[in-house]
Amino acid sequence: MPRAFTPKVVTANALLEGDVVYLTEDDRWTRQLTEAELIEDEAHAQLRLLDAEMRPGQVVGPYLADAVAGPDGPAPVHFRETFRATGPSNYAHGKQVESKNV
């Protein structure tokens, strides 16, 4: 029996800066996971991934990442995506400078 589809977001790295980015419902890249499009349909997820892969001048390495609906928008399911969403942990810079938890 096939595994049930779980909600996803399309994520990649910005080509020039290397920042983690997420595809929004209105076809723009954002650095905030909470603004990402939470995709709950497998066919739609595959189409959105194909769309992201057709933007080689903007991003590299797009893929579908598991996510759940949170109170402020999509939230990561796995540690890797939590780490990617918050940025490097060696010292406060980038996204961590803006975080209230650092």
C-alpha closest to that of 64 among 56, 74, 72, 73 = 74
Read off the tokens for 30: 């954002």
Specify the pLDDT at position 2. 79
Instruction: Tell me the whole-structure pTM to 2 decimals.
Output: 0.84
DSSP 8-state secondary structure symbol assigned to residue 81 = H
Kindly give the confidence (pLDDT) of every residue in the chain, 102 residues in length, as a single tens digit, with 9 standing for 90 and above: 778 999 999 999 999 988 999 999 999 999 999 999 999 999 999 999 999 999 999 999 999 999 999 999 999 999 999 888 887 665 555 565 665 544
Specify the pLDDT at position 102. 43
The rounded distance, in Å, linking the Cα atoms of 26 and 44 is 14
**First-to-last CA distance in the chain?**
44
Contact (CB, 8 A) for 76 and 67: yes
